[in-house]
A and B are shown apart, each in its own frame.
Chain A
Amino acid sequence: MHKARPSVTRANGDESRPIQGRRSTPLTRNRRIYATLLAPALAVAVLALAACGVTPQTTLEPTTEAARTARDLLMFVFWAMVVTFVLVEGALLYVLIRFRRRSGDGIPAQTHGNTPLEIGWTIAPAILVVVIVVLTVPAIFSNARAAGPDALKVRAIGHQWWFEFQYPDLGVTTANELHLPVNREVEIQLESNDVLHSFWVPSLRGKLDMVPGRENKFTIKPEVTGTFPGQCAEFCGTAHALMKFHVVVETQAEFNAWLQNERTDRVAPASELASEGEANLTLGGCVACHTIRGTDSAGILGPDLTHMGSRKYIAAGILENTPENMRAWLSDPQGVKPGNTMVIPELTTEQLDSLVAYLQGLK
């Protein structure tokens, strides 16, 4: 899904600048002043062209109706605001240039007001606002649509600083990687285990908060397969910036296969090293916090690790799941993710080797 940057974003970024640029028609004495007003806008435009990087978390590449509604509304209001901007700033600049003080100016005519004019410019913004409201309200209600009876149900639970995902009807619990079948309605219920968090996958939908003591819900129907990044969007403490997750939208067949695997207990260790790793779960204290079905590990303070080896990322979406990264994580979780709640004793090289081998094997 990390595909090349589409035209949408940059297009709007760029096209808006030439409009500001139009103001730079040759001016007289005060030109420099206006040029300075203009300089930053132009600088941004130039750099925008240069910045054709990839932004995987953009809000402008919707893959559901909900996200599309928001994007379309955003684009419409954005352009309406650009037009307003040009008109109002244009009027301001025109007046400033036209009526700059010239030598020999006397006291100008003292106008105090003009009622019809003032009524006029009260009504003008009112009309604009009414148009936006009229477009906004249906979008609000369509975003709040309830799920149909066949919808797949998911519980997403925020923890400081990772995401837990449960499929109550399917008996599956996982973390930091949400799998969804494409073209099927899904109802996601948001909860929190501690403080406020917010569930945000820009390509799927705008954010909705995870509030302890409340159950927020939303319904979406993903239309495109791929892996989409998401991130906690409500400040939730020290590691807030490192509380991410991924949504994997896949075909029904792929989803079923994933589900099948998730429902089984952990894969038994395939090597001696891995078996040692499983034994070390107790030594390392891992059992107190993590669940690995099929072993003695039944803690619930941390993510379920039964199929850790099949996940793409470690520690709430911040490290790719490679043996080196797993080793880095286990040797110093606090260094990798300051403030997080996984506190473990320092592990010996042998213990690390065995745990990495074991966890990588938990496909």
Chain B
Amino acid sequence: MATVTATAPDTRTFAGTAWSWITTVDHKRIAVLYLVTSLAFFMLGGLEALLMRLQLATPESDLVSAERFTELFTMHGTTMVFLALMPLSAAFFNLLVPLMIGARDVAFPRLNALSYWIYLFGGIFMNISFVAGGAPNAGWFGYAPLTDTAFEATHAIDFWAFGLQILGVSSILASINFIVTIINMRAPGMTLNRMPMFVWMSMITAFLIIFAFPAITIGLVLLIFDRYIETNFFIPEGGGDPVLWQHLFWVFGHPEVYILILPAMGIVSEILPTYSRKPLFGYAVVAYSGAAIALVGFGVWTHHMFTVGLGPIADTAFAISTMAIAVPTGVKIFNWIATLYGGSISFKSPMLFAVGMVSMFIIGGLSGVMLGSPPIDSQVQDTYFVVAHLHYVLFGGTVFGLFGGIYHWFPKFTGRFMHDGWGKVHWLLMMIGFNLTFLPQHMLGIDGMPRRVHTYAAEMGFDLWNMMSTVGSLMIGLSFLIFIINALRSIRHGEPSGGDPWDGGTLEWTIPSPPPVYNFAEIPIVDGRYPAWDIKRGGGHTGAVATAPEADAEADEPDIHMPNPSYWPIVMAAGMVLAACGLIFHQAFILLGAVLFGISLLGWIEEPSA
């Protein structure tokens, strides 16, 4: 069995560079892969959204056919959740968790690479459906029995079901990796109580993924059985129950919301202190409220099902648990505001995005409280009011937060600043475009416009709001273009940033940018929550971090043994996805996939590890 040697590939040639990326197990490079891939999918999901908005700009338009429209909203939701935002968060986990806890890599570097390749291939697999007979078209929630072969005989739903299973494997593997990393690899002195808030939120997110994904995994297995071997789990004529699918889906789906928002909350909890030069206010409460949100989040799922007819007792119970979540969420917001109080606040682009996240997320939280009340929900459920609500949470909250993170840590990735002026233009356009898109949608919902409709009649009085919404969405698109151009330009031509451009407080700011492969020449010793501040401000704390940041990293390369690159992760991921292709295209692929998987497994085991 061939093994990879420790000798690095020749990165002066293109092939060598490509090979070095394909076989990399370095968490920082994997972070870059996640970042680039998730932004590409973000763009795809955004284009799908723009097409829908163009179709809905005017009543009775026929720019997009009804069939196409169902594919667009299904793939927009699926793409944004599973292929854009979750992996974008994963990019931050990868870059930041080891750096923030003073580790040289994650616990299982090859597993980390495997997660990424499964994600990439899974995402491509799902999108191939567009050119292979029709994309998934039953909504990102895939309510049974519309997903049954009786109603969708093509492979559209199979692409969706297998695709989600594949992506689930990627997420669960990554989560295990980060939990082990966070629990086992913290630098000496970094107790849980001193962990940066972002690491706390990453850990909670990882636990959420591990506990939430099994529910949808089971649901999808049953769905695949229903479709492939004619079982009747969700088919009423066969004694099954379509509502069972809804339970399985939302037991996963509600925690998924927190999977999407907690990393952004972690990012904001790092950015606000940095730009106001004050530690996070009420650290323990912010951490525990994150855990509380996650825990209670498993007990609220039927608020997505208030109109199913589960009865007044169930509705009451879940209304109460849903409203209860408003408390820890509110607490977080107050603590953020208190963090700013008394600070010295500088408004660089990362800070603008973080403040944008807080202020927009508040709106999403407030409309969430409205939806938590079943009688209100019975009117606005499945209308544009919900579309508005969820975008204030996932766009106003998550996307603003994650963009803030990109501006904030871009210098750490690249050693260069993104242009701050253009960053502010991006922020401004996105802020206006976002509100113009989604604020009117509250009114549409209250005025009675259902969601997931490809058209509406002129006499319904929905035109003006829809036109505004479309104009706003185009502004968002433009702002994203500005961001991409700014980012691409800044990689080469951005102003050099040095290792600590923002006067950061956490460990990643004590090392050069971009960080050396081994991150820390010497593992730091930590005795506070903001070790970098302690050093810079001479707060009486000591520790090995005291080795001056940019110093001799290049000068005398320390002899640190890092994990070898490996091509087995990509082979294994390819095997898995090929096997899934086999269930759709031709059985021969199953065999091929299994063989690849088996070989890579053996290779993986045989490979000398670090």
Q: How far is the CA of A57 from the CA of B334 in the complex (A)?
A: 38
A88 at the A/B interface (Cβ < 8 Å)? yes
B374 at the A/B interface (Cβ < 8 Å)? yes
With A77-B373, A234-B382 as contacts: A125 and B326 at CB distance below 8 Å: yes
Binds B, one of A170-178, A191-199, A300-308, A345-353: A191-199
> Chain A residues with Cβ under 8 A from B242's Cβ?
196, 211-213
Is the beta-carbon distance between A100 and B347 smaller than 8 angstroms? yes
B494 at the A/B interface (Cβ < 8 Å)? no
Closest to B373 in A: A136
Task: How many A-B residue pairs have C-beta atoms within 8 angstroms? Tell me.
Answer: 314
Binds B, one of A107-115, A180-188, A268-276: A107-115
Q: How far is the CA of A108 from the CA of B277 in the complex (A)?
A: 7
> Chain A residues with Cβ under 8 A from B372's Cβ?
132
Is the beta-carbon distance between A111 and B375 smaller than 8 angstroms? no
Binds B, one of A90-98, A147-155, A252-260, A321-329: A90-98
A117 at the A/B interface (Cβ < 8 Å)? yes
Is the beta-carbon distance between A74 and B376 smaller than 8 angstroms? yes
Q: How far is the CA of A190 from the CA of B332 in the complex (A)?
A: 42
Is the beta-carbon distance between B67 and A214 smaller than 8 angstroms? no
**Which positions 3-61 of chain A face chain B at CB distance < 8 Å?**
5, 9, 13, 30, 33, 36-37, 39-41, 43-44, 47-48, 50-51, 53-60
With A78-B370, A195-B145, A207-B307 as contacts: A53 and B461 at CB distance below 8 Å: yes
Scan A56-68; emit 1 where CB is below 8 A from any B CB, else 0.
Answer: 1111100000010
Q: How far is the CA of A99 from the CA of B448 in the complex (A)?
A: 43
Binds B, one of A219-227, A237-245, A279-287, A289-297: A237-245
The one of B65, B315, B342 in contact with A111, judged by C-beta atoms closer than 8 angstroms, is: B342
Is the beta-carbon distance between A117 and B537 smaller than 8 angstroms? no
The one of A113, A140, A241, A318 in contact with B284, judged by C-beta atoms closer than 8 angstroms, is: A113
> Chain A residues with Cβ under 8 A from B428's Cβ?
36
A202 at the A/B interface (Cβ < 8 Å)? yes
Is the beta-carbon distance between B307 and A206 smaller than 8 angstroms? yes
> Chain A residues with Cβ under 8 A from B347's Cβ?
30, 33, 100-101
Is the beta-carbon distance between A144 and B446 smaller than 8 angstroms? no
> Chain A residues with Cβ under 8 A from B452's Cβ?
235, 240-241
The one of B67, B320, B342, B352 in contact with A238, judged by C-beta atoms closer than 8 angstroms, is: B67
A266 at the A/B interface (Cβ < 8 Å)? no
Is the beta-carbon distance between A129 and B327 smaller than 8 angstroms? yes
**Which positions 431-456 of chain B face chain A at CB distance < 8 Å?**
431-432, 434-436, 439-440, 443, 446-456
Binds A, one of B15-23, B354-362, B399-407: B354-362
With A33-B352, A125-B326 as contacts: A338 and B446 at CB distance below 8 Å: no
Is the beta-carbon distance between A95 and B340 smaller than 8 angstroms? yes
With A51-B464, A58-B448 as contacts: A206 and B375 at CB distance below 8 Å: yes
Band of interface residues on B: 35 or more
B44 at the A/B interface (Cβ < 8 Å)? no
Q: How far is the CA of A196 from the CA of B234 in the complex (A)?
A: 12
* Closest Cβ–Cβ distance, residue A136 to chain B (whole Å): 4
A166 at the A/B interface (Cβ < 8 Å)? no
With A92-B337, A140-B315 as contacts: A133 and B330 at CB distance below 8 Å: no
Which residue among A5, A30, A85 has the maximum number of chain B CB atoms within 10 Å of its CB? A85
Scan B447-484; emit 1 where CB is below 8 A from any A CB, else 0.
Answer: 11111111111011111110010001000000000000
Closest to A59 in B: B379
Q: How far is the CA of A132 from the CA of B324 in the complex (A)?
A: 11
A233 at the A/B interface (Cβ < 8 Å)? yes
B111 at the A/B interface (Cβ < 8 Å)? no
B281 at the A/B interface (Cβ < 8 Å)? yes
* Closest Cβ–Cβ distance, residue B263 to chain A (whole Å): 21
**Which positions 309-348 of chain B face chain A at CB distance < 8 Å?**
309, 311-312, 315-316, 319-320, 323-324, 326-327, 330-331, 333-335, 337-338, 340-347
B595 at the A/B interface (Cβ < 8 Å)? no
Is the beta-carbon distance between B143 and A235 smaller than 8 angstroms? yes
Which residue among A30, A100, A117, A206 has the maximum number of chain B CB atoms within 10 Å of its CB? A206
Q: Which 6 A-B pairs have the closest CB atoms?
A: A206-B378, A213-B236, A57-B448, A40-B435, A241-B453, A125-B330
Question: B residues engaging A (CB < 8 A)?
Answer: 65-67, 70, 138-139, 143, 145-146, 151, 236-237, 240-243, 276-279, 281-285, 307-309, 311-312, 315-316, 319-320, 323-324, 326-327, 330-331, 333-335, 337-338, 340-347, 352, 355, 358-359, 362-363, 366-367, 369-370, 372-383, 428, 431-432, 434-436, 439-440, 443, 446-457, 459-465, 468, 472, 537
23 A-B residue contacts at CB 8 Å?
Answer: A33-B347, A40-B435, A47-B440, A55-B461, A56-B459, A59-B379, A59-B446, A59-B447, A74-B379, A85-B362, A88-B333, A110-B279, A111-B338, A114-B338, A118-B282, A125-B327, A132-B369, A140-B374, A206-B377, A206-B378, A233-B382, A235-B138, A242-B455
Question: A residues engaging B (CB < 8 A)?
Answer: 2, 5, 9, 13, 30, 33, 36-37, 39-41, 43-44, 47-48, 50-51, 53-60, 67, 69-71, 73-74, 77-78, 81, 84-85, 88-89, 91-92, 95-96, 99-102, 105-114, 117-118, 121-122, 124-126, 128-129, 132-133, 135-137, 139-141, 143-144, 160, 190, 194-196, 198, 200, 202, 205-209, 211-214, 216, 229, 231-242, 318, 338-339
Q: A51-B464, A56-B460, A122-B327 are in contact. List 18 more A-B contacts (CB 8 A).
A: A40-B434, A47-B464, A54-B459, A70-B375, A81-B370, A92-B359, A101-B345, A110-B278, A114-B282, A114-B338, A129-B326, A194-B145, A195-B151, A196-B143, A202-B379, A231-B450, A233-B383, A338-B65
